[in-house]
Amino acid sequence: MKRLAVYCGSATPEDPIYIETARTVGRMLAERGIGVVYGGGRLGLMGAVADSALAAGGEVIGIIPEALVGAEVAHKGCTELHVVSGMHERKARFTDLSDGFITIPGGVGTMDELWEAISWSQLGYHQKPVGVLNVAGFYDQLIAFNAKMIDVGFIRPQHAGIMIVDETLDGLLGKMAAYVPHKTIFQMKADDL
């Protein structure tokens, strides 16, 4: 994995564990020679990931919609900053430029990015590992909900392992490196569905 998309919030919650996690992720990825592809912002967890990766000598590619550049939230210190027309193009670029995805704590936009990465993997638009860093139990309920969708049958058994979860970055990166792509919906016949 040469580059990973990092999905996270642009807010800075009061509990310092979240900003510290973002800083650790950026630094550790850079130390391992893994480039960061992210939302291109300078605020919140996004900015912390970028700043930490850059400070550790890492590559940071930001992808930001024009509207957010206009709001003056773009990180001008990125290795590369791609300005795109909107969110759809942004997420497509994340997929094109990265070898996998890591989701750390965030809000609605982060959830949109995570679920789209999972959905695109399930369908077959990519077969890259999709990781969730479950810091301080932040994603416990989301993980339980994913398990419920599997148990009920809305997620096929072949796709139950798409969302890769760990509480540590080292553990998550190890699991992501060992990820074996599944049979995608595009590869299935109607009887398999």
Distances 41 to 18, 50, 77, 92 between C-alpha atoms, Å:
16, 8, 10, 17
pLDDT recorded at residue 70: 75
Eight-class DSSP state of 75 = -
174 band by pLDDT with thresholds 50, 70 and 90: very high
Tally of CB atoms within 10 A around 81: 16
Confidence of residue 21 (pLDDT cuts 50, 70, 90): very high
pTM, rounded to two decimals:
0.94
Q: Please give the pLDDT value at position 13.
A: 96
The phi and psi torsions of 25 (rounded to 5 degrees) equal -60, -50
Q: What is the mean pLDDT of the chain?
A: 95
Q: Residue 69: what pLDDT?
A: 86
Per residue in 38-51, pLDDT (tens digit) is 999 999 999 999 99
Decide if 101 contacts 117 (C-beta within 8 A). yes
Summarize the confidence of residues 60-71 as an average pLDDT.
90
| pLDDT (average), residues 81-98 | 95
Walk me through the domains of the chain, giving residue ranges and CATH numbers. Answer: 3-192 (3.40.50.450)
